[in-house]
Amino acid sequence: MVTILDGLIYLAIFWLVLLYLSSRINFQRFNLLIAPLIIVWRTERFIGLIKKISGSRFQKFWRKIGDGSSIIYITLFAVLPIVLLINIFKALLGNPSAILGENPINFIDSSVLIIILPIFFALFVHEFAKLIMALAEDAEIEKVGLMVVVAIIAPFVQLANKSVKKLKRRPRIRILTIGMFANLILAMMFIPMLTNQDRIVSIFYDEPSGAMIIGLDTNSPASFSLQRGDVIIGIQRTQLNTIISSQEINSSAQFVSAMRVIPPGESFILVLQTFKLTLKGDLPPPDAQITLGSYIGIEVYDYRESKYDFLSPLTPFYFEEFIIWSISINLILGLFNVLPIPFSDGEKLLDELIDGFQIKKAERANLKRLAFSISILLLAMNIRYTFL
């Protein structure tokens, strides 16, 4: 798997080569626009196919879905700022992440693809839902396409602004809210996969038979002798160079439990599949996987023997990370578009809601600035207290 550091190097090489080629080749004949760190591809080819999906026979269905998404959206529009504010107060009172939960993802150890693919799928579902709803409301579509910004591939839908403005407020709100609704539905679809992960994995793998190392802290006691992918199958405690107890390790949970009862500074033997290693643990740091007992600077995951040769022992770990990323990104994208932040659907929805009231232009601008400021402040503080 390619790590983020490797990915950044490959990415820099890719953009340098692409920019050089763009100076020699006319990519516009392929409907490609290439600029530093941005690629845009536009087409009209797929609009006809989408029209069949959202055609007259399905218009009522999609509009009812749109009405439901509008109700959910407006409810979240009112409730989400309160939830974010409560989360900040709970964090300040010493209970960080009480509502939103701690970030479960290790950015450094995550594979580049495991990060990029969920982002692409989330954006694809968001824009695809918006495209279907726009066509169901008889709005005109100018272009659809793909945009690459640095390394993020994102589909986009370019609506004909004149045709959208001709629509009544209710259809416009449906178009604005359906993307958020689609992301929340996709996140909910991934949750059963996460809760039933063991059942899914057991189709392709045997029961856990060890604790596999998936992460190593730099300069930790184990970092000089162990590597990612090593499998721990036992722990032996020693006293005066004599083994006084031996425990078989069949899962990551067993390893964590065993390490918690070994005092810091005591020597012990890690039994791995291919060798043994004598180590002496340190006091665990606050953010360690093991917060009691001895700390040797490794993160472990259940090791399973694959039933098929083409599957890696690390695949269940990456599968779980992919699911967690997918849930997180879809929730973040959906909820981000609820808040009236510049360039989001929430900003456009705020305009639609303001249009329903007789508000002077100056007061309207002040109201939007206030909403933007509050939203950004709430987001920034929640990111600070929840993820950092």
Query: 267: domain CATH number?
Result: 2.30.42.10
Residues 114 and 225 in one domain: no
d(Cα 139, Cα 167) in Å, to the nearest integer? Answer: 8
Residue 349 is classified by DSSP as H
Residues 327 and 296 in one domain: no
Residues 358 and 221 in one domain: no
Judge whether 19 lies within some domain. Answer: yes
Residue 38 is encoded by which pair of tokens?
């941005």
CB 213 within 8 A of CB 230: yes
- φ/ψ (deg, to 5) at 358: -85, 90
Residues 53 and 135 in one domain: yes
pLDDT digits (tens, 9 = 90+) for 348-384: 888 887 776 777 777 778 888 888 888 888 888 877 7
| pLDDT of the residue at 212 | 94
Residue in the block written with tokens 């392709």: 204
Q: How far are the Cα atoms of 22, 107, 126 from residue 34, in angstroms, in the given order?
A: 7, 29, 24
Of 279, 306, 333, the domain-final residue = 306
Residues 294 and 330 in one domain: no
50: helix, strand or coil: helix
pLDDT band with cut points at 50, 70 and 90 for residue 105 = very low
Size of the chain, expressed as the number of residues it contains: 388
Residues 379 and 283 in one domain: no
Residue 341 is encoded by which pair of tokens?
């932040």
CB 240 within 8 A of CB 290: no
Judge whether 311 lies within some domain. Answer: no
Residue in the block written with tokens 């269905």: 61
Domain of residue 230: give its range. 208-306
Judge whether 203 lies within some domain. Answer: no
pLDDT digits (tens, 9 = 90+) for 224-275: 888 888 999 999 998 877 788 899 999 999 998 888 888 888 889 999 998 9
Of 256, 280, 306, the domain-final residue = 306
- φ/ψ (deg, to 5) at 2: -85, 125
pTM, full prediction: 0.79
Domain count for the chain: 2
Residues 252 and 358 in one domain: no
Kind and range of the H or E element at 111?
A: none
CB 232 within 8 A of CB 300: yes
Residues 186 and 215 in one domain: no
Judge whether 1 lies within some domain. Answer: no
Beta strands in the chain (DSSP E): 32-35, 38-43, 141-149, 152-159, 205-216, 231-239, 242-248, 267-272, 276-280, 298-306
d(Cα 62, Cα 55) in Å, to the nearest integer? Answer: 10
Give the residues across from 147 on adjacent strands. 40, 154
pLDDT digits (tens, 9 = 90+) for 26-79: 888 888 888 888 888 887 777 777 777 666 678 888 899 999 999 998 888 888
Residue 125 is encoded by which pair of tokens?
């579902």
